[in-house]
């Protein structure tokens, strides 16, 4: 026997309105299915808005009910990328990738 779990996503490149709608859709789906287990903000990290640009929206959404966050974070060549730190501070349940190439020059 196996189970399938789904992580809903919001595309950072499409902005706050898209992310807000994606969170609403995820919550609606979680009311009818146990397959949805979290919400992620995705897009290439070095050329798209960072997680911190969505903090106000995420905090606002968390007030209306549970918001299980999981993040792709750290897939970057920019040493100043703070997405890993932000993901941890937001209590993420999972971090996809979780490395920063700028911190590992031998890679």
Q: Which residues are catalytic?
A: 75, 97
Output the CA torsion sign for 42, 96, 44, 78.
Answer: positive
Separation CA 67–CA 92 (nearest Å): 10
| Greatest Cα pair distance in the chain | 47
Give the three-state DSSP class for 72.
Answer: strand
Return the structure tokens found at 91. Answer: 């209590």
User: How many alpha carbons lie under 13 Å from residue 45 in its C-beta half-sphere?
Assistant: 26
> Which structure tokens are listed for 42?
């995705």
């Amino acid at each position: 026997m196996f189970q399938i779990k789904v992580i809903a996503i919001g595309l950072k490149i499409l902005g706050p309105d898209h992310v807000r709608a994606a969170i609403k859709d995820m919550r609606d789906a979680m009311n009818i299915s146990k397959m949805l287990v979290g919400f992620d903000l995705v897009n290439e990290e070095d050329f798209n808005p960072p997680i911190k640009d969505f903090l106000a929206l995420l905090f606002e959404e968390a007030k209306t009910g549970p918001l299980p966050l999981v993040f792709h974070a750290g897939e970057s060549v920019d040493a100043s990328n703070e997405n890993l730190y932000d993901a941890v501070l937001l209590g993420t349940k999972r971090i996809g990738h979780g490395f920063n190439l700028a911190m590992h020059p031998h890679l």
